[in-house]
Structure 1
C-alpha cells in the first residue's frame, strides 16, 4: 500500500480525510468531521487575515508617500489605493475555481506563499523616492494576490461544514480574515515608526516635520507571519477528495439568475466594505485636513470585519434575507448621515456615521453569504461564493476612484456618495422582491 494511504473498513484515506466525507451526517460530523473542519478553518483564518493585510497595504502607504519624498498627485495617490482592488478582483475571478481544480490545501499554500512577492517588492521599491509611479502601480497590482485569496478561501471552507453551520463558519473565516484590513491600518503607523528591521531592511526616511520613519516596514512586517502561516497550511490543512470540480462543472453557476442577483447584493455590502476601507484614510485627509485623525481610519474596517461573523450567526437564527433587508435600510440611513455631516463639516458626526456604515456592511457581508448555501445546492454554492466575492472586490477599485473623481471634479465627495445611495436603494428593492417578501421566489 502506498505511503500516506490507509484503509479503514471500506474507506480509503489519503492523509487525514477519506472519501466518506459527509458533514451533513450528524454522527460523522460529531465523531470525526467537526475536528477536521475546525482545524482547517483556524488555519484558513490567519491565512486570509494576512491576505487582506497585504491587499490593503496601499490604503495606508498612499497617505505617507509624499511625506517621505515622493511627489504624486492626489489622483495618483487614490489610484495607488485603488489598483489592488482592480487586480484583486481580477485574481478572484480565477482563484474562485482553484480549490476545485487543485485542492483547497494546495491552493492555500501556494496563494499564501505568493504574498511574499508584494511584501518584499514593496519594501524594496518604497525606499527610493525616485521610484516611478508605474513601478509603484505594479507593486500595488501584486497586492491583488491577497484580494484574490478571499474567493478561493471561502470556496474551500464552504465544503467542510454542514449547511446548518455554514453561516457561522463562513462568517468567522471572512470576518476574522477581514480584520487584516483594520490590522494593516492600525499596525502600519506603529511599524513604520520603529526601526524594527533596520539592520536588513534599509535606512530610515526623514519627515518634513523632522521626524524619522522606516516606511519599508509597512511591507516587511508581514514577511515572517506569511512564512509561518504557509508552513502551517502545508502541514495542517487538508484537500477534500469530494470537492474537486472541473471548470465546466463550476461554470454551470452562470446559467442561474440567482448567481447574478446575489452578486449584486454581495457587491452592495462587501464592495462597500473593501472600497471604503481602501479610501477611508485618504478621504479623511482630503475632507478634514485640519483634523489629524487618519490614525482613526482603522476603526471602520475593524467594526465591519468584527460584525461579519455576527451577521452570519444572526442569519442562521433569523434568516439571511430578512437580516440583509433591514440592514440595507440602515445602510441607506447611515450614508445619508455621512452626506449630512460632510456638508456641515462636522468630523465627529462624519466619523460616527461612517463607522455605522461599516457596521452595516459587516452584518450584510455575513447575512448574504449565509443566503447562498440555501439558494444553491452544495456543489454550486462553493463557486457562487467565490464568484460573488470576485465581482464584489471591484468595489476596492471603483470606490476610491469614484471618491477621487468626485473630489477632483466637484471639490467634494458628495457625488460619489449619491451614487452609492442609489445603488443601496436598488439593492433594498431587489432583496425584498426576490428573497424577503411574503411570496418571495426563494425564502432564505
Structure 2
C-alpha cells in the first residue's frame, strides 16, 4: 500500500505548526478518532452479546465473564505489535489495514451468534474481537507523533476519549435492538457495524497521512523496557484504563447476575458510565496540561477509592440506586485518570532527557523517542487490568455469589496506586539539573514537578 507520506514534520517549530502542522494534525486526529471508535466498539462487542445470551445458550454467568475476559486479554496482547506497526507501515496505511481487520471478528460473530453454537466457538470469536483493542495502541502512537508536547495532553485525551466512546456506543446499539426487536436478535447489532467498519477504513485511506520521520527505534524500545518509569506508569494505567475497560465490559453482566436485571433493564443502564468516562478523558488530559498529570492522577485515584467504598456498601446492602451512583462515578473518575496518566508519559521522559544533561531539541527528541516506545507497553499492561477485573468478578460470583469480594480487591489496588503516585512523582520532585537549562528560563524547565 502506497499512500500519502509527509517527509518533514516539526511540530515543536511554532511557525511550522501555525502555518501548516496544526491543520494536518487535526485532520488526522479526527479520522483517527473515527477508526479507534469503531475498534473499541468491536472490542466491546461481547459485553453486549452476553446480554443476548439467555438460558437457551447454555452459558452460565461464570462462562459469560470468561468470554469478555478473553476479549480483554487478546486486546491487551495485540497492543504491543500494533504500536510498532505505525512506523513499519505508516500511520494512515496501518489505520486502513487495522480497520479492515475488524471485519473478520464481526463477521464471524454474525455467523455464530445463535443458540446451539458450541462454547469453544464463542470463546474463539470473542478472542478475535481483541484486535479492536489493538487499534487504540496504534492510534495513540500515531497521534502522539503529530502533536507538539504542549498539545499532547489535549490531543491524546481527545483521541482516546473519542475511541472510548465506542464502548457506550455499541451498548446503546444493543439497548436499541433489545428494546425494539427483542433479545433474540443480536445479529442486528453486528449487521450495523459491518458497513461502519468499511466507512472507517475508506475515510482513513482518503484523509489521513503517513509521517516519514516516524521510525521504529529498537534502541528506544529496549531503553523503554529497562526504564522503571515505563513499568510504574503501566501499573498506574492498570488502575485507570484497566478499570474503565474492565468495568465497561462487566457492568451489564454484574447488573444481571447480582441485581437480577433483565437484558433490557441491564442494557438501559450500562452505557451511561462508559459514556461519562469517555467524555471526561480529554478533560483529564487538559487538567494535566494545566496542573500536572501526577496531581490530577493522585486526585483521581483518591476519588476512585471513595467511589469504590460506596459500591462496596451498595453491594453489601443490595441497594441498586447507590450501586449505580458509585459505579457511574468510578467510570467518570477512571476516564479522568486515563487522560492524566497518558499526559504524564511524554512529560516524564522529557524530564528524563533533562536529567541526562540534554537541552532544547535534543531533550525533546529523547522524550519523543522514549514516550513513543513506551506507550504500547503501557497500554498493553493497562488493558490487562481489564482482564484482572473480569476474572476477579468471575471468581467472586463463583465463590460468594456477589461482586463484593472483587470490589474490596479493587479498593486495595487503588490504595497502592495512590501510594505509588505520591511516592514517585509528588513526594520529592527533583529539580532539573543546571546543565539541562540551556537558554531556557528556570520557570520554563519541564522537570518532574511538572509531570
TM over 0.5: yes
Q: Is the 8 A contact 1:97 1:152 kept in 2?
A: yes
Distance 1:290 1:174 in 2: 31
2:249 to 278, 293, 297: 278
State the Cα distance separating 1:438 from its structure 2 match.
4.5
1:108 to 95, 120, 125: 95
Q: Aligned residue for 1:413?
A: 403
Distance 1:386 1:431 in 2: 21
After superposition, residues 128-167 of structure 1 pair within 5 angstroms as 129-167=115-153
Matched, 1:174 2:160: yes
State the Cα distance separating 1:189 from its structure 2 match.
2.4
TM-score (ref. length: structure 1): 0.90
Q: Is the 8 A contact 1:192 1:218 kept in 2?
A: no
Distance 1:412 1:16 in 2: 53
Q: Aligned residue for 1:214?
A: 185
Distance 2:430 2:60 in 1: 49
Q: Aligned residue for 2:7?
A: 18
Equivalenced residues, count: 414
State the Cα distance separating 1:293 from its structure 2 match.
3.9
Q: Is the 8 A contact 1:194 1:214 kept in 2?
A: no
Q: Aligned residue for 1:230?
A: 201
1:338 to 311, 315, 318: 311
Match of 1:245, SS state, is coil
State the Cα distance separating 1:390 from its structure 2 match.
0.8
Q: Structure 1: which 5+ runs fail to align?
A: 5-13, 196-210
Q: Is the 8 A contact 2:172 2:267 kept in 1?
A: no
Q: Aligned residue for 2:435?
A: none
Matched, 1:436 2:436: no
State the Cα distance separating 1:384 from its structure 2 match.
1.5
Q: Which moved more, 1:182-191 or 1:433-442?
A: 433-442
State the Cα distance separating 1:193 from its structure 2 match.
5.5
Match of 1:242, SS state, is coil
Distance 1:236 1:279 in 2: 35
2:371 to 363, 381, 388: 381
Q: Is the 8 A contact 2:82 2:138 kept in 1?
A: yes
More helix by proportion, 1 or 2?
A: 2
State the Cα distance separating 1:194 from its structure 2 match.
5.5
Q: Aligned residue for 2:177?
A: 191
Q: Any idea what the Cα deviations from partners look like across 1:16-37, whole Å, max 9, x if unmatched?
A: 6232x10000000000000110
Distance 2:45 2:391 in 1: 17
After superposition, residues 75-94 of structure 1 pair within 5 angstroms as 75-94=62-81
State the Cα distance separating 1:250 from its structure 2 match.
2.5
State the Cα distance separating 1:213 from its structure 2 match.
3.7
Runs of 4+ in 1 over 3 A off after TM superposition: 191-195, 246-249, 290-294, 438-441
